[in-house]
Structure 1
Amino acid sequence: MSQPPRRIAHLDMDAFYASVELLRYPELRGEAVVIGGRSANAPVLRADGTRDYARLRDYAGRGVVTTSTYEARALGVFSAMGMMKAAALAPDAILLPADFDSYRHYSRLFKAAVAGIAPHIEDRGIDEIYIDLTDHPDETRALAQRIKDAVRDATGLSCSIGIAPNKLLAKICSDLEKPNGMTIVSYDDVPTRIWPLPVRKINGIGPKANTKLIALGIETVGQLAQAEPKLLQEHFGLNTAQWLRDVAHGHDTRAVVTSSEPKGISRETTFERDLHAKHDRAALSDIFTRLCMRLSEDLQRKRYAGRTVGIKLRYADFHTVTRDVTLPQPTADGATIRRAAGECLRRVPLEQRIRLLGVRVSALTPLDELTQQRQPVQGDLFERL
């Protein structure tokens, strides 16, 4: 008996963080709202029961936009944009601080709702999943609507879903009719639905590759599909050229992976102002300690320990350095992570000001598999300065 054609869905929550905030502040619906900044940007409740909201024009600092509503995006404000640049584009936009505990709560709700209908899920982050619907008995469009309705009933939020023969096309399609979209394509639809799109719409073609393709006169997926193999190979190499040809024709054989072990867990922060290792030693030590302790909490919550502890520093000139150390046995203990991170810190230059600091634990092992734990070891950071 022949195998049924693959039906792979990509479900993406619509402006997820911002949409969660609008559940809390429904009066902001239809407004340009930017999520980011500090807790000091939280709304202030007035005596008459109304709220006083911070405005983007009043922001001063080094933060970046976490996300924005579609109304703010229409003004040019997108995630990962510097807040000061966003303020220049949309000074009257309302500014709200991020609440990741709330976002994780709603993430669990929407994934549980989907799993109750179609359990073959690949978790791709807090606001998106792949779903293998190949063996599901329901008709495709009715099934997609059932999933969307279940997500809204569980969370009060909308999502967009793309269904296609593979993950590549499904992810592209989930973005075509946002918000609250539903897009279903087959291989026969690739020339009409996919080829007119910019090449950057293909997941895996980043800014550098996009710039290089445009320089070659290749701006759309269709132009990439028709490009001479020799031209692509000359500029991208044999393997990447083959991949570009495959994805331009909508080919992707990756399976939906329903369970996987994380490679590493990390915590990092970008400072509101650049900090100097000597002049701001106390502040840096406190920040570093809190990163290590929160990373420890993440590991224990996810039931992992790791042998490799690493740090990441980004200097004021945006140069980034990393260092790591491998421990004799896995740990999830905050004091042990802090001491190992301190050892890594001693191996990097600390003359320049620092704009970002991060800590990572990798080479993970499930805690349930460990028979013994290391004892906590205290250590002072930045002690040599």
Structure 2
Amino acid sequence: MPHFPRSIAHLDMDAFYASVELLRYPHLRGQPVVVGGRRATANESGQNFPRLRDYVGRGVITTSSYEARALGVHSGMGLMKAAQLAPDALLLPADFDSYRHYSRLFKAAVREIAPEVEDRGIDEIYIDLTALNPDGSCDGARAVALHLQQAVMGATGLSCSLGVAPNKLLAKLCSDLEKPAGIAVVPADDIPARIWPLPAKRINGIGPKAAARLDTLGIHTIGELAAAAPEWLQEHFGERYGIWLHRAAHGDDERPVVTYSEPKSLSRETTFERDLHPQQDKSELSGHFTRLCEQLAQDLARKGYVGKTIGLKLRFDNFHTVTRDQTLPAPTGEAAAIRRAAGECARRVLLDRRIRLLGVRVASLSRRDAIPEHTAPKPIQAELFA
């Protein structure tokens, strides 16, 4: 019987954003590097990037090099907190145009070898390798994974890690086992030895709240979760989620690799370096608002979509977050129309506190080429909530 009735791989780029920056600034290799915050004023050689100790603001880390991670710095952490852990780490601004470029390159390289690809984000994909590993052997799976790894390196100069397993759930767990630049091949027989010792929260689908609840119930590892009675899990987590937890812990996942799916929405948001007042900082807010709408319109055009539902997201200085939506009579992808609709959403929010975060979203998407040509948009309004 083959080890892999299905050979499913999860490919994850290694410290993707930081690695792209190190292609541009190779002299920074080996140093703790953090990507985050706004664009900085550094010379082209990258000699003048600031150290974290000099950062003042409320930005968060987008990603960090492995040298920075060794100091306890990780994505999603506030830059001020990271500065306490790694004051000498270099702070580089994010360049998402460059990251998207390298994302397209690595995915194209993979598809030339294995066309059955499910896109899961800018730096990760699932790949169905079953046809490329017909005997279902571990050696065959490893050989294909190595071929993919070499192709990605050749196309981008970047390393990636792969996990190959009988299904998507296990493959995602495995891709992290040998990072960076590693390959982990784990058949079902190896689940007790390779998977069960891992923390339960490593399972994709166990979020922070569920992980904390499991901790309080004395379940810390995947193996302990696998040993829990299904009835007990259902009692504590509800029937549907309890059944899923039991299946996930045993590596049971029948989901196919989905090679194409329509996105449900696209969005852009920004967190300000300082809280902005709706009246006193109206001009600055207006500029941010316009740029978000223009960037979102560019995203829609690049991906070939228009949308009918426009959404606004505001987070205030007390961390209270509100969202408002408006559905238009016809789909749009124009920055002016997005901004007008989002501005109308803002009229339905009590603006009595400083604003920490601003976001704009377009949902109810349709393919642009399936919609008749629409009339030219009006000019973008000059004020934020006009």
Shorter chain as normaliser: what TM range?
Answer: over 0.9
**Superposition deviation, residue 36 in structure 1:** 1.1
Tell me, yes or no, if structure 1 residue 263 matches structure 2 residue 264: yes
**Superposition deviation, residue 383 in structure 1:** 4.7
In the aligned structure 1, how far is the partner of 2:378 from the partner of 2:27? 50
Question: What residue in structure 2 maps to residue 100 of structure 1?
Answer: 96
Q: Secondary structure at the match of 2:132?
A: coil
The question of whether the paired residues in 1 share the 8 Å contact of 2:346 and 2:385 is answered with no
Tell me, yes or no, if structure 1 residue 214 matches structure 2 residue 215: yes
Tell me, yes or no, if structure 1 residue 18 matches structure 2 residue 18: yes
The C-alpha deviation readout for 1:311-337, integer Å capped at 9, x for no partner, is 000111111110000000100011111
In the aligned structure 2, how far is the partner of 1:95 from the partner of 1:101? 18
Within 5 Å, give how 1:27-42 maps onto structure 2: 27-42=27-42
The question of whether the paired residues in 1 share the 8 Å contact of 2:51 and 2:87 is answered with yes
Instruction: Report the aligned-residue RMSD.
Output: 1.5
**Superposition deviation, residue 377 in structure 1:** 2.8
The question of whether the paired residues in 2 share the 8 Å contact of 1:43 and 1:54 is answered with no
The question of whether the paired residues in 1 share the 8 Å contact of 2:198 and 2:222 is answered with yes
Residue type of the alignment partner of 1:85: K
Residue type of the alignment partner of 1:5: P
Tell me, yes or no, if structure 1 residue 184 matches structure 2 residue 180: no
Q: Secondary structure at the match of 2:184?
A: strand
Question: What residue in structure 1 maps to residue 127 of structure 2?
Answer: 131
Question: What residue in structure 1 maps to residue 336 of structure 2?
Answer: 335
The question of whether the paired residues in 1 share the 8 Å contact of 2:283 and 2:383 is answered with no
Instruction: Name which of 105, 110, 115 aligns with 2:111.
Output: 115
In the aligned structure 2, how far is the partner of 1:261 from the partner of 1:142? 32
Tell me, yes or no, if structure 1 residue 81 matches structure 2 residue 80: no
The C-alpha deviation readout for 1:136-182, integer Å capped at 9, x for no partner, is 25721111111000011111111000000100000000000100010
In the aligned structure 1, how far is the partner of 2:382 from the partner of 2:255? 46
Question: What residue in structure 1 maps to residue 309 of structure 2?
Answer: 308
Normalization by structure 1: what TM-score?
0.95
**Superposition deviation, residue 113 in structure 1:** 0.7
The C-alpha deviation readout for 1:193-229, integer Å capped at 9, x for no partner, is 1111100110011111100001000000010011122
Q: Secondary structure at the match of 2:40?
A: helix
Question: What residue in structure 2 maps to residue 70 of structure 1?
Answer: 66
The question of whether the paired residues in 2 share the 8 Å contact of 1:273 and 1:355 is answered with yes
> Residue 382 and residue 112 in structure 1: after superposition, are their counterparts in 2 closer, same or farther (change >3 A)?
closer
Moved more, 130-139 or 263-272: 130-139
The question of whether the paired residues in 2 share the 8 Å contact of 1:232 and 1:241 is answered with yes
In the aligned structure 2, how far is the partner of 1:279 from the partner of 1:256? 51
**Superposition deviation, residue 44 in structure 1:** 6.2
Question: What residue in structure 2 maps to residue 357 of structure 1?
Answer: 358
**Superposition deviation, residue 381 in structure 1:** 4.0
Question: What residue in structure 2 maps to residue 320 of structure 1?
Answer: 321
> Residue 376 and residue 17 in structure 1: after superposition, are their counterparts in 2 closer, same or farther (change >3 A)?
same
Question: What residue in structure 2 maps to residue 51 of structure 1?
Answer: 47
Normalization by structure 2: what TM-score?
0.95
Among all aligned residue pairs of Structure 1 and Structure 2, give the percentage whose two residues are the same amino acid.
Answer: 65
Moved more, 31-40 or 216-225: 31-40
> Residue 137 and residue 245 in structure 1: after superposition, are their counterparts in 2 closer, same or farther (change >3 A)?
closer
Q: Secondary structure at the match of 2:286?
A: helix
Question: What residue in structure 1 maps to residue 300 of structure 2?
Answer: 299
In the aligned structure 1, how far is the partner of 2:164 from the partner of 2:382? 52
Question: What residue in structure 1 maps to residue 5 of structure 2?
Answer: 5
Q: Secondary structure at the match of 1:368?
A: helix
